[in-house]
Structure 1
């Protein structure tokens, strides 16, 4: 029977997963497949898994339980193997890579920081600070029919917003990146101009939390800074 694989841990991880049920319509018992040096946390699966709410929740619940006793290597949702022997084969073949990856995240957790600011706030700042943009906007509002004016204003504003978002992201990253052992930048989305993951030693997380509080308190320009964590270190698993 096929197995769904949640995570890989070192052999000394306690894997306290008794009583947990996993993904799938029947929610099979979560269990361990072990080799001499590693453990994989798995459950039997009889169907193709899709990211339904129940299954995503079950997947994350296993990760959270494992995080209570040490940092695993979390696998992304949906990873399956043909059977237990196939899992053991991968663990044996990739033992050095897994050991290196486990050492990399040992005693750490991932924290994600997103920062957002409404485009309208950037636009108001640009019109206040840039005389050319202000003139173009006033001419258009006054009824100018010159088609070049909206095109120029659009290009100017787009370039200015892009630069201001980049500057704001760099400013925040400059404060936050030194607080992690490693960091990973993710693509921006919507009004978010920063999507940053940090790999933070658990005993140093208080410094990050304090820095976040100070940034939120100091920013009075409409910037929203959201901190999520501790999380399994998905962004730092090769």
Structure 2
């Protein structure tokens, strides 16, 4: 029977899985497949698993339960194997790599920091206040100037200024937060975000990191919203 694979752990992980069932419309018990110093956490499946809300939630809950006890190497949603033997072979062939990754992730969790320009009008007011060129163009347009190029020129100037300010702010936020992480990675932000940062934060630095993030969120002006998510399985740091 095919398997759905949630994570890879060391053989000494507690694996408290009694009563835990997995993904699918007919959930099977979550169990382990062992090979040498490693285990894979799996459940049997007899159907194609799609990213439905329930199954996404189950996948996440299994990983969070495992994380509560010891380090795990989390797999993204939708990883399948043809059976126990295939899983064991993969563990045996990649033992050194998996053990090294588990060691690197040990004692850490992933946190996401995203930032969004929530108040665009406030940012526009700041640009008009700080930029004589933008202010002059805006005043000429408001006074009734008929040159059709003026709105286009102003729009291009404002867009350029917005991008520069957001890039600068994002870079400053990254530099302020990365000292709290063992590792970090920046992802291409999706609009309207201008920052999408993942940090691998050691457990003993979590309180300091959360305090620093909260302080930055209070200090930043200009209608910027911070969104912090975590602790999460360290998906972004699995190589």
TM-score grouping bracket, smaller chain normalisation: over 0.9
How far apart are 1:141 and its partner, in Å?
2.8
Q: Is the 8 A contact 2:6 2:41 kept in 1?
A: yes
* 1:189 has 2:190 as partner: yes
Residue-by-residue CA offset, 1:120-161 (whole Å, 9 max, x unaligned): 322221111111111222222333332221221121111111
- Structure 2 unpaired stretches of 5+: none
Q: State the partner residue of 2:47.
A: 47
CA distance in 1, matches of 2:143, 2:71: 62
Q: State the partner residue of 1:59.
A: 59
Residue-by-residue CA offset, 1:144-197 (whole Å, 9 max, x unaligned): 332221221121111111000011111111110111000010111223221111
Residue-by-residue CA offset, 1:3-57 (whole Å, 9 max, x unaligned): 0000001111111111111001101110000011110000011111111010001
CA distance in 2, matches of 1:82, 1:103: 28
TM-score, L = length of structure 1: 0.96
* 1:201 has 2:202 as partner: yes
Q: Is the 8 A contact 1:33 1:88 kept in 2?
A: yes
Q: Is the 8 A contact 1:71 1:232 kept in 2?
A: no
Q: State the partner residue of 2:12.
A: 12
Of stretches 180-189 and 118-127 in structure 1, the one that deviates more from structure 2 is: 118-127
How far apart are 1:102 and its partner, in Å?
0.7
TM-score, L = length of structure 2: 0.95
Q: Is the 8 A contact 1:56 1:77 kept in 2?
A: yes
SS in structure 2 at match of 1:41 = strand
How far apart are 1:76 and its partner, in Å?
0.4
Where do 1:117-132 residues align within 5 Å? Answer: 117-118=117-118, 119-132=120-133
Of stretches 208-217 and 228-237 in structure 1, the one that deviates more from structure 2 is: 208-217
Q: Is the 8 A contact 1:116 1:193 kept in 2?
A: yes
Q: State the partner residue of 2:144.
A: 143
CA distance in 2, matches of 1:84, 1:142: 75
Q: State the partner residue of 1:113.
A: 113
- Structure 1 unpaired stretches of 5+: none
